[in-house]
Amino acid sequence: MQQRVLGRDGLEVSAIGLGCMGLSFAYGPATDRRDAIGLIRAAHERGVTFFDTAEAYGPGINEELVGEALEPIRDRVVIATKFGFRNGVPSEGLDSRPERIREVAEAALKRLRTDRIDLFYQHRVDPNVPIEEVAGTVKELIQAGKVLHFGLSEASADSIRRAHAVQPVAALQSEYSMWWREPEAEILPLLDELGIGFVPFSPLGRGFLTGKIDANTTFGAGDFRSTLPRFSPEAVKANQAVVDLVRELAQAKGVTPAQTALAWLLAQRPWIVPIPGTTKLERLEENLGAARVELDTADLARIDQALATVEVVGDRYPAATQRLINR
C-alpha cells in the first residue's frame, strides 16, 4: 500500500484508510465483535495503517473495539478519533468546551488502550465555543503528549483558517465523492494553501456508488440511511444516472464501480486519503484494490465532463443535522 502524508508535520498514513464506524454504529446491528476485530486486523495485514473512529460511534463502543483490535500492533498504526458531542451522543447536541475536550481525550485513551491519540478531530464545529479556544485546548493536549495531531470535520473555510492559526490542522474530514463535490469550490484550494490533508468520509456515497442500491432497496432497523433525503426512493431513482456513469467508467477500466470511485478521489490530490468502511473481507479487499487503479489526465477529464451532466437530487442530511455542517 502506498503512503500519503496529512499536514505539514508529516503524519504518514496508508493511501486508503478504514472507517470503522459501521462495524458498530449507524448501519444496523453491530458486527459480531470477533468478526469486527478480525476485519480490522485483516485490513492492517493488507497494508492499511490508518483507522478512524469516534467517541460518538456507540458512544464509546467503537473506540473500545478499535482499541482491542489494534493493541497488538499499536506502534504500527495511526488511530484517529473525535470529540464534540454532549455525552458522546449526537442527538444531545454539541459540546466542545475545553473541559469536555480534555474529558473525552482521557476516556478515549483508555478505550483505545493507548498513551496517545494520533489524530484528534473536532467532530462538528460548536458555535458556542470559539474555534480558537478549541484549537488552543487541543494544542495543550499535544504539548502534554496525549495527542499528536489536530483535525477538524465538516468545518467551514473560515473555521479552518482560524483554528489553523492557533494550532496547525493536520487534516480535515468531510464528505467528498463523485456524488458530493462541494469541497472542490472552496475547501480544497484552502487546504492546498495551508498544507492540510483531506480525509473524505463516505467516499462511496454510503454504498450508493457501488451500484448495489436502487429505488426498491429497503434499509433495516437502525440503518440511518432510511432517514437521509438522498436515500428516499424518489432521490435514489433520480440519482441512478450517477451510478450508471460510474459503472460505465468501471467497465472501461476493467475494475469495479467502488474501485473507480475511490481511484477518482485518490487522483484529485496527493494528500487525499479516503476512509471507506465495510463489514466484509471481500469488500475490504476490493476497496484496497483501488490504490492500484490508475486514472490518467484523459480519464479524469472524461469523468469530469460526464459528471457535469448529472444533477444530484436530495440533501445529504435532514434539516436539523444539515445545520451542523460548514460552520
What pairs with residue 171 in β-bridges?
A: 151, 197
Q: Scanning the structure block, which residue is given the C-alpha cell 454504498?
A: 207
Helix (H, G, I), strand (E, B) or coil at 199: strand
What pairs with residue 174 in β-bridges?
A: 200
57 is catalytic: yes
Helix (H, G, I), strand (E, B) or coil at 86: helix
Helix (H, G, I), strand (E, B) or coil at 225: helix
Distance of CA 256 to the CA centre of its chain: 21
Residue count (the chain): 327
82, containing H or E segment: strand 78-83
Neighbour count for residue 176 (Cβ, 10 Å): 24
Active-site residue, from 57, 121, 176, 317:
57
What pairs with residue 200 in β-bridges?
A: 174
Q: 286 phi and psi, to 5 degrees?
A: -60, -45
Q: Just list the catalytic residues.
A: 57
